[in-house]
């Protein structure tokens, strides 16, 4: 049987730019074109009486509800006056405390604020989930920030035109070549996740309370200096049923920094430097007013990811508002930031909202203003800080208290001749990283942490990867640590010691390997078919063990019905089931703890099944079973 090679869209995921799927939400077909609320400098008032920032100057980049947006546009049209430059042109504010934009690799920290989020669990992707999160918003936020700068997405590349530094004059409308540019955020930006369940979230948290939570989070994540917080951003996610800063019926999110004296309750003192943060309500509670169904149907989380992306874009280009890039033209756009000027533009229109495909999935996002094209850009070439540093994830790690660790991290740079310098945050106590990327030491404390490794080149471009690291208490010790799977990347060109169905071990061009040339390509025939790949592995007694692999799924099926399936098992126990409904661009890392099987010989097995019509390919590469 010959596998089909007609999947042009699947091949493009490996050889070209990710496509943007535009799906118009029927419920918003007549929604007005929009601009979000003006972003004033501290102490200034917003003139538009319908803006959620009117008399609330700290609500930088505030996203009005669709209803408020219509009122704002009507008022602005009646008041508009000629501008000296293009009415949407942004200019540089000169920086506050020397900060204009995030000119390094962004470190995004998600803070789930308050006990109302409920009981915490972890899903198969390593994301925190919560019993009080009826819409499943928490893992989607984590996957979105993991996915920025992956899968060849160019939605975030619009940011690479913005800059700061001593060579950028206040009032500039473009960046000189010797400026400090925002680099392309390759490899994802999620650097940590924290459930702060020390107390309930206030029913209507003030701006000051939200800022206090952000400063508290900075210390929690170990960012205790101004330098550590220079490229950090804390998203304060309030739980369902709360009304932070009285957002209901007015707006959907805003961002600021702790030093803004106009925050309700006043500025927030900090011993760790300036702290950038956002107020991210559980805005699905506002329904269509905050974008439910704006791009997709039913699109329950459309507005959630759009506002998360909106505020992150604006923080990147205006970290300490309004010292970065804002509108000073005197037009109806005066005071707005880059995403404000493109908020709530209908899907299918120029610069309209769209589905953006990243390496971790597809997310509804909105466009941001681009000075260099004089338009709202949902996709943009990389400019300015164009070097791309990609750090290879080592997968989730497991260790034991008292057992030495040695883990080499690797990375690549799109620019030739660069020397990479490595750093890390969130490593277990007792571990450290060298400038060459070697993590060594002996864990001293049990627990699970999110570790982030960053590689930076001599031009300032950087990339990061995040993974969990679980340290178990001292037991009998792991007598035989290390990788236990033979031929883990199938690079021998044969199956052994795997047992595989005919034709599964493959190096053809129809599907790209994650690394190297060979992979296990299961199914893809478009007829009733079953493929299997299995290997028996002994997990040494006294060892913690983590089983991981990279999976790519492409399909000719459509919709969310699971027609074709991949089942992953250890012995007779099913670890996970994936289907055509999980298809996405590029590979995703899957990881499972098998520590409970220590001292046993187990069989790891993948089983792929296809029905009689339309192909689905399950492609597996770079497997690992690490004992420690």
- Express each pLDDT in 518-534 by its tens digit: 999 999 999 999 999 99
Res. 476 pLDDT band, cuts 50 70 90: low
Res. 402 pLDDT band, cuts 50 70 90: confident
- The yes-or-no verdict on residue 104 having pLDDT over 80 is yes
- The yes-or-no verdict on residue 40 having pLDDT over 60 is no
Res. 62 pLDDT band, cuts 50 70 90: confident
Query: What is the dihedral sign for C-alpha 150, 152, 157, 160?
Result: positive
Res. 72 pLDDT band, cuts 50 70 90: confident
Among 206-210, 327-331, 468-472, 511-515, top mean pLDDT goes to 206-210
Rounded to whole angstroms, the Cα distance separating 389 from 138 reads 28
The pLDDT value given to residue 14:
30
Alpha-carbon distance values, 104 to 97, 186, 316 (Å) = 16, 11, 10
- Domains along the sequence of the chain with CATH: 8-12+483-627 (2.60.120.260), 31-377 (no CATH), 389-474 (2.60.40.10)
- Beta strands (DSSP E) in 457-600 are 462-472, 482-483, 499-500, 505-506, 519-523, 529-538, 545-555, 565-570, 573-579, 588-593
The pLDDT value given to residue 85:
57
Q: Which residue would you say has higher pLDDT here, 621 or 462?
A: 621
Average pLDDT of the segment spanning 318-337: 93
Alpha helices, DSSP H, located in 103-150: 137-147
- The yes-or-no verdict on residue 16 having pLDDT over 50 is no
Nearest to 278 by CA among 145, 428, 452: 145
- The yes-or-no verdict on residue 43 having pLDDT over 50 is no
The pLDDT value given to residue 29:
27
Q: Which residue would you say has higher pLDDT here, 286 or 32?
A: 286
Reply yes or no: is the peptide bond before residue 471 cis, omega within 30 of 0: no
Concatenated DSSP letters for 22-57?
----GGGTTPPP------PPTT---S-TTSTTTT-T
Rounded to whole angstroms, the Cα distance separating 543 from 52 reads 56
What pTM did the predictor assign?
0.59
The pLDDT value given to residue 340:
96
Q: Which residue would you say has higher pLDDT here, 547 or 81?
A: 547
Q: What is the pLDDT of residues 448-470, one digit of tens each?
A: 888 989 888 766 667 788 888 88
Q: H or E segment at 303?
A: helix 302-317
């Amino acid at each position: 049987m010959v596998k089909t090679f007609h999947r042009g869209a699947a091949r493009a995921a490996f050889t070209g730019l990710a496509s943007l799927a535009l799906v118009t939400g029927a419920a918003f077909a007549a929604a007005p074109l929009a601009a979000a609320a003006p972003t004033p400098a501290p102490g200034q008032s917003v003139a538009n009486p319908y803006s959620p920032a009117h008399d609330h100057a700290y609500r930088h980049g505030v996203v009005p509800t669709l209803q408020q947006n219509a009122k704002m546009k009507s008022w602005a049209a009646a008041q508009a006056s000629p501008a000296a430059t293009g009415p949407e042109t942004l200019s540089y504010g000169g920086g506050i405390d020397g900060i204009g934009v995030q000119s390094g690799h962004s470190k995004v920290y998600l803070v789930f604020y308050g006990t109302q989020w409920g009981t915490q669990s972890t899903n198969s992707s390593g994301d925190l989930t919560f019993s009080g999160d009826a819409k499943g918003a928490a893992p989607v936020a984590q996957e979105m920030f993991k996915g920025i700068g992956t899968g060849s997405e160019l939605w975030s590349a619009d940011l690479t035109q913005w800059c700061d530094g001593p060579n950028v004059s206040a009032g500039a409308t473009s960046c000189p070549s010797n400026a400090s540019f925002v680099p392309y955020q390759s490899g994802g930006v999620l650097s940590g996740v924290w459930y702060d369940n020390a107390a309930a979230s206030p029913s209507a948290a003030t701006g000051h309370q939200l800022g206090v939570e952000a400063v508290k989070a900075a210390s929690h994540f170990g960012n205790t200096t101004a330098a550590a917080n220079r490229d950090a951003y804390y998203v304060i996610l309030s739980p369902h049923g709360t009304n932070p800063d009285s957002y209901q019926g007015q707006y959907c999110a805003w961002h600021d920094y702790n030093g803004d004296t106009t925050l309700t309750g006043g500025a927030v003192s900090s011993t760790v430097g300036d702290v950038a943060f956002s107020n991210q309500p559980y805005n699905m509670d506002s329904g269509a007013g905050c974008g439910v169904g704006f791009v997709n149907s039913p699109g329950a989380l459309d507005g959630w990811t759009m506002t998360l992306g909106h505020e992150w874009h604006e923080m990147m280009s205006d970290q300490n508002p309004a010292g970065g890039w804002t509108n000073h033209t005197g037009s109806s756009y005066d005071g707005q930031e880059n995403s404000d000027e493109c908020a709530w533009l209908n899907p299918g229109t120029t610069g309209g909202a769209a589905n953006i495909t990243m390496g971790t999935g597809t997310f509804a996002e909105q466009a941001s203003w681009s000075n260099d094209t004089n338009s709202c850009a949902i996709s943009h070439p990389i400019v300015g800080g164009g070097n791309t540093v990609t750090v290879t994830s080592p997968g989730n790690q497991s260790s034991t208290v008292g057992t030495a660790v040695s883990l080499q991290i690797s990375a690549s740079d799109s620019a030739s001749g660069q020397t990479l310098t490595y750093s890390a945050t969130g490593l277990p106590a007792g571990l450290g990283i060298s400038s060459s990327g070697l993590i060594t030491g002996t864990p001293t404390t049990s627990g699970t942490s999110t570790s982030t490794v960053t590689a930076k080149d001599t031009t300032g471009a950087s990339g990061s990867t995040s993974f969990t690291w679980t340290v178990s208490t001292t037991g009998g010790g792991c007598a035989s640590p290390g990788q236990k799977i033979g031929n883990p990347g199938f690079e021998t060109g044969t199956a052994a010691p795997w047992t595989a169905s005919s034709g599964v071990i493959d190096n053809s061009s129809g599907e790209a390997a994650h690394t190297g040339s060979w992979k296990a390509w299961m199914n893809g025939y478009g007829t009733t078919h079953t493929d299997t790949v299995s290997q028996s592995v002994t997990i040494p007694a006294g060892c913690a063990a983590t089983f991981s692999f990279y999976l790519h799924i492409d399909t000719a099926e459509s919709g969310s019905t699971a027609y074709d399936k991949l089942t992953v098992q250890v012995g007779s126990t099913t670890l996970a089931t994936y289907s055509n409904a999980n298809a996405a661009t590029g590979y995703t890392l899957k990881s499972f703890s098998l520590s409970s099987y220590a001292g046993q010989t187990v069989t790891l097995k993948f089983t792929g099944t296809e029905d009689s019509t339309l192909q689905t390919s399950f492609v597996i590469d770079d497997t690992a079973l690490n004992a420690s």
